Structure 1
């Protein structure tokens, strides 16, 4: 639960900066657009039903984009220059580049996979909570992690960015309540088709950051709220020292942004708090010594009373 809260709240600064900042300066117009986008999304989500409610995020983005156009903060130059049909920038092994052996690069990059793995596990935890299923068992964490890794390898071969599970997408699942694999696969097909339509890609790239920030307030917050929901549903007793200590350390390390730096390798706050949480869960006794003493004293008093 606390790790999922951290995953959501660790992105809060990103959402806030997208909503408020134009470059390095605070911009009131940007913040107004972000709040308008958020409010419209909430209205579509709460005041409508059926299909309109399901696509509330998209409608919120459209409203925010429209206001941005009116205020003149949308840059259409990329849309004008883009061709209707264009091939995505792909690299072809053996033609665009040739394989070379770089041990230093491998040693620098490979440990980062550990960070991705811990975040992947956190995201699967959120999905377990959202869908009321256990993906750790079926299809199994080893299979979901293998899919994550293989997709990144394939993307790297053809010049794409690393592909991993993203909190934003999980936030969309939480908001829409649509968890169908077929719907997600359909969205993937549309994304591939649109990548060949230059104008569509350019329009998406022209969406101002405050619009994204306004939506992110909701999406990232939804992830954190699901962490709280896990704690409530499982009736976690924070009167027990063990639970309080584990949650406290995870939350402060994760949200505080503490990280471990060893040369060029960095263990991010999310990964670090996950490791600390796991270690504390394994090492800390079920009961603190003071709690055992109080319990023993209580039993002794009860025994004397009954005697």
Structure 2
């Protein structure tokens, strides 16, 4: 790949013209909307609040990182089980305390990084580990995309398959053949094209749009109940440990962003600021009634495809999310985008993240004829993609991505540089 072909269209600090800016931000909003709203729907929280907290959380993250990293903060799937249990048995004040505790864990880790520095990152995350981990981050989502792209109400549906395939092919075509302004919006255009086809074959239910109000205040919640502040230690104990899962995802996403943008975010703005930004975003979400948030792979995939890395664009998407959380009909319209469309686009978005990991391997000339490199990469890929997860209880479940990352770090630290059979 030539330097010219890999040159960003808009780099980190470049602000596009207004209409271009709006279109690019809308593309990011559409890409993350489905997952961000799905989490509160599964848990029983208000989707409007989740949209609001994702936007506010992203703006807080941008502020804390001084506008130097294009990361969008959306609802995290890692906390669905404990949040659902707490909401049913205790109520939202317990959920809020759990979400806030997750943010506090991030702040504590950020404080540790402030005193220890980041030199240890290069030691535990060499290219032989980074490449496979980045691939896993993308490919671990392949199953979810495939399910969305083939099933309707839990059953295989040929119409869903057809819409997903057409959405994917349209996104590929828009990415390859469009130029200028439209060439920057292949994902948004692919979603619109797929949505129109889904509408034509009867996969879209517009009744929720008709029922929604134009202005609709999100149902904000409080960490206080009718008795005032009551501490729920079980909420903290069930959710705070899971921050270790999203912390590993945070490091992985930071590595992906550093790779595709060409900027070392571990150095500038620094890991302590990115962790603080993530933690503050979750605390803000807990204070208004939203789920814990984390950086989103969907938006990283959009950046990789469009080569638009502008923080202004991410900030614009966050601002639109806040506005849309109060516009009932717009939120309802976006929520009608079927899984067939998001799954079809997901094939592309998750795949380009995996390709970024492959590029790390190629660029650093990782030699897999050497047993050490092979013994590190093989279990990372299979454990992460296969979701070989560690479930300690009904509420504490470490994902395959988290386990793969930790195992990769350990193997890199303990394995000898050369296998015994390779020593002459």
TM-score, normalising length from structure 1? Answer: 0.92
Work out whether 1:282 is the aligned partner of 2:381. no
Work out whether 1:33 is the aligned partner of 2:157. no
Provide the C-alpha distance between the structure 2 equivalents of 1:121 and 1:96, rounded to a whole number of angstroms. Answer: 39
For the aligned residue pairs, the C-alpha RMSD in angstroms reads: 1.4
Equivalent residue in structure 2 for 1:65, among 182, 190, 195: 195
Provide the C-alpha distance between the structure 2 equivalents of 1:113 and 1:242, rounded to a whole number of angstroms. Answer: 30
Equivalent residue in structure 1 for 2:264, among 134, 139, 146: 134
> Secondary structure of the residue that 2:405 maps to in structure 1?
helix
Equivalent residue in structure 1 for 2:345, among 215, 218, 225: 215
Question: Is this contact kept in 1: 2:224–2:230, CA < 8 A?
Answer: no
Residues 110-131 of structure 1: CA distance to partner in whole angstroms, max 9, x if unpaired? 1100000001100011001101
Identify which range, 264-273 or 117-126, moves more after superposition.
264-273
- In structure 2, the residue matched to 1:191 is 321
* Structure 1 unaligned blocks of 5 or more: 295-307
Provide the C-alpha distance between the structure 1 equivalents of 2:230 and 2:221, rounded to a whole number of angstroms. Answer: 15
- In structure 2, the residue matched to 1:47 is 177
Provide the C-alpha distance between the structure 1 equivalents of 2:383 and 2:310, rounded to a whole number of angstroms. Answer: 34
Provide the C-alpha distance between the structure 1 equivalents of 2:252 and 2:274, rounded to a whole number of angstroms. Answer: 12
> Secondary structure of the residue that 1:164 maps to in structure 2?
strand
Provide the C-alpha distance between the structure 1 equivalents of 2:288 and 2:158, rounded to a whole number of angstroms. Answer: 41
> Secondary structure of the residue that 2:293 maps to in structure 1?
coil
Instruction: Work out the number of aligned pairs and report it.
Output: 293
- In structure 2, the residue matched to 1:244 is 374
1:240 deviation in Å? 1.2
Greater CA radius of gyration, 1 or 2? Answer: 1
- 5 Å matches for 1:168-207? 168-207=298-337
Equivalent residue in structure 1 for 2:404, among 269, 273, 290: 273
In the superposition, relative to structure 1, how do residues 289 and 172 fare at CA in structure 2: closer, same or farther (>3 Å)? same
1:261 deviation in Å? 2.1
The runs of 4+ residues in structure 1 deviating greater than 6 Å are none
- In structure 2, the residue matched to 1:301 is none
Provide the C-alpha distance between the structure 2 equivalents of 1:75 and 1:230, rounded to a whole number of angstroms. Answer: 43
Residues 245-297 of structure 1: CA distance to partner in whole angstroms, max 9, x if unpaired? 000111111112111122342211011011100001111111112222x2xxx
1:95 deviation in Å? 7.3
1:96 deviation in Å? 8.0
1:99 deviation in Å? 2.8
Identify which range, 92-101 or 8-17, moves more after superposition.
92-101
Provide the C-alpha distance between the structure 2 equivalents of 1:157 and 1:110, rounded to a whole number of angstroms. Answer: 16
Question: Is this contact kept in 2: 1:155–1:163, CA < 8 A?
Answer: yes
- In structure 2, the residue matched to 1:167 is 297
> Secondary structure of the residue that 2:215 maps to in structure 1?
coil
Residues 191-243 of structure 1: CA distance to partner in whole angstroms, max 9, x if unpaired? 21122111110100011110111000100011111110100011111111111
Provide the C-alpha distance between the structure 1 equivalents of 2:215 and 2:392, rounded to a whole number of angstroms. Answer: 46
Residues 13-69 of structure 1: CA distance to partner in whole angstroms, max 9, x if unpaired? 000000000111100001100111111111111011111111111111111111111
Provide the C-alpha distance between the structure 2 equivalents of 1:169 and 1:138, rounded to a whole number of angstroms. Answer: 20
- In structure 1, the residue matched to 2:360 is 230
Identify which range, 245-254 or 263-272, moves more after superposition.
263-272
- In structure 2, the residue matched to 1:305 is none
- In structure 1, the residue matched to 2:235 is 105
Provide the C-alpha distance between the structure 1 equivalents of 2:405 and 2:365, rounded to a whole number of angstroms. Answer: 21
Provide the C-alpha distance between the structure 2 equivalents of 1:93 and 1:280, rounded to a whole number of angstroms. Answer: 42
* Structure 2 unaligned blocks of 5 or more: 1-130
Question: Is this contact kept in 1: 2:137–2:252, CA < 8 A?
Answer: yes
Residues 171-194 of structure 1: CA distance to partner in whole angstroms, max 9, x if unpaired? 111111110111111121122112
Question: Is this contact kept in 2: 1:91–1:97, CA < 8 A?
Answer: no
